């Protein structure tokens, strides 16, 4: 139902007919988290922040570890390269040393060969000198024998067996023994032989005086026996064992083994006695 109010009518005439304004309704309560929820949210946020910080630290540590690992790997690579270079240098030095050793060995072999040649040449020279000395002494023996033969012929006979022989009053015990014996001068000349020695070599005593000790027929021991003769003549050696050969009167090689003893007179070397073993 509509009511019209005339113009100029008092506002309160039909106040009952006008709707009255209603009272404002109380605001509805806002629904939200309580304090416990807020506390839990705060703790979660703190945990998230802690995890985030820890994640950042882990990333930084990982980055540092990667950088450090890269540096260590680079150092190891450099060390390996240095070791390889050192090994290569050592190998090159070893090869150079091997070449030097080969050269030194070749030089040593050449030196040894030259030394052997020099030793052979020296031995040949010593043998040549010994043979030259032998020839000279043979000539001297021939001259001495001819002089003795001339004196003996002029005296109408040879020297008697009982004549003085290098300080001996007689030859008893020299001529009558079965062991071959020979009296040798310090220069190697045969002075006296007993019959057993003459039978051994196939020459008479006067014939064998042309021979000498050491025997030139013993080429292998000639130089060594020359040195032994010098040592005996100087008195450095009193006794020596010898093994040599002589040429028999019939052309055969006769082995002569025995001992050489130095005999002194008035304390000085006088002559040698050769005792041949049977």
Tens-place pLDDT, residues 95-150:
787 777 787 788 778 878 777 777 777 766 666 666 555 555 555 555 555 555 55
CA–CA distances in Å: residue 243 to residues 215, 218, 220, 231: 10, 9, 11, 17
Query: How many whole angstroms separate alpha carbon 91 and alpha carbon 84?
Result: 10
In the DSSP assignment, the letter for residue 160 is: P
Q: Is residue 232 a contact partner of residue 269, using CB atoms and an 8 Å limit?
A: yes
User: Which neighbouring-strand residues pair with 44?
Assistant: none
The CATH number that domain 170-276 falls under is: 3.30.450.20
Element (H, E) at 118: helix 35-154
Give residue-wise pLDDT tens across range 142-199: 555 555 555 555 554 444 433 334 443 457 778 888 999 999 999 999 999 999 999 9
Element (H, E) at 254: strand 253-265
What's the pLDDT at 90?
Answer: 80
Query: How many whole angstroms separate alpha carbon 18 and alpha carbon 16?
Result: 5
What's the pLDDT at 159?
Answer: 43
Query: How many whole angstroms separate alpha carbon 104 and alpha carbon 73?
Result: 45
* Contacts (Cβ under 8 Å, ≥6 apart) of 264: 235, 270
CA–CA distances in Å: residue 2 to residues 8, 14, 16, 122, 124: 18, 12, 13, 170, 173
Q: Is residue 275 a contact partner of residue 261, using CB atoms and an 8 Å limit?
A: yes
What's the pLDDT at 182?
Answer: 93
What's the pLDDT at 160?
Answer: 41
| Torsion angles phi and psi, residue 42, rounded to 5 | -65, -40
What's the pLDDT at 240?
Answer: 93
What's the pLDDT at 151?
Answer: 58
Is the preceding omega at residue 248 within 30 degrees of 0, hence cis? no
- The domain spans of the chain are 39-159, 170-276
What's the pLDDT at 161?
Answer: 39
What's the pLDDT at 146?
Answer: 53
What's the pLDDT at 133?
Answer: 59
What's the pLDDT at 109?
Answer: 83
Give residue-wise pLDDT tens across range 216-241: 888 889 899 999 999 999 999 999 99
If one compares 8 and 83, the residue with the highest pLDDT of the two is 83
The model's confidence at residue 42, banded by pLDDT at 50, 70 and 90, is: confident
What's the pLDDT at 244?
Answer: 93
Integer Rg of the chain from CA:
67
pLDDT at 200 over 80: yes
Give residue-wise pLDDT tens across range 72-96: 767 777 787 887 788 788 878 877 8
What's the pLDDT at 148?
Answer: 57
């Amino acid at each position: 139902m509509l009511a019209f109010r005339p113009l100029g009518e008092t506002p309160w005439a039909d106040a009952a007919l006008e709707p009255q304004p209603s009272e404002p309704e109380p605001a509805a309560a806002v629904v939200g988290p309580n304090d416990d929820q807020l506390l839990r949210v705060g703790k979660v946020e703190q945990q998230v922040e802690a995890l985030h910080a820890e994640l950042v630290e882990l990333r930084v540590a990982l980055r540092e570890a990667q950088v450090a690992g890269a540096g260590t790997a680079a150092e190891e690579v450099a060390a390996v390269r240095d070791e390889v270079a050192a090994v290569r240098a050592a190998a090159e030095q070893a090869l150079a040393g091997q070449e030097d050793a080969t050269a030194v060995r070749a030089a040593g072999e050449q030196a040894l060969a030259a030394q052997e040649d020099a030793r052979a040449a020296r031995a040949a020279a010593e043998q040549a000198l010994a043979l030259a000395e032998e020839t000279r002494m043979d000539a001297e023996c021939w001259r001495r024998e001819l002089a003795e033969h001339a004196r003996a012929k002029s005296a109408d006979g040879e020297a008697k067996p009982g004549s003085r022989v290098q300080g001996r009053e007689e030859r008893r015990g020299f001529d009558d023994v079965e062991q071959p014996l020979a009296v040798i001068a310090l220069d190697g000349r045969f002075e006296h032989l007993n019959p057993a020695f003459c039978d051994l070599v196939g020459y008479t005593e006067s014939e064998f005086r042309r021979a000498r000790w050491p025997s030139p027929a013993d080429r292998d021991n000639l130089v060594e026996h020359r040195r032994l003769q010098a040592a005996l003549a100087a008195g450095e050696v009193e006794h020596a064992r010898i093994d040599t050969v002589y040429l028999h009167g019939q052309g055969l090689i006769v082995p002569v083994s025995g001992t050489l003893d130095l005999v002194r007179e008035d304390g000085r070397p006088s002559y040698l006695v050769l005792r041949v073993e049977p």
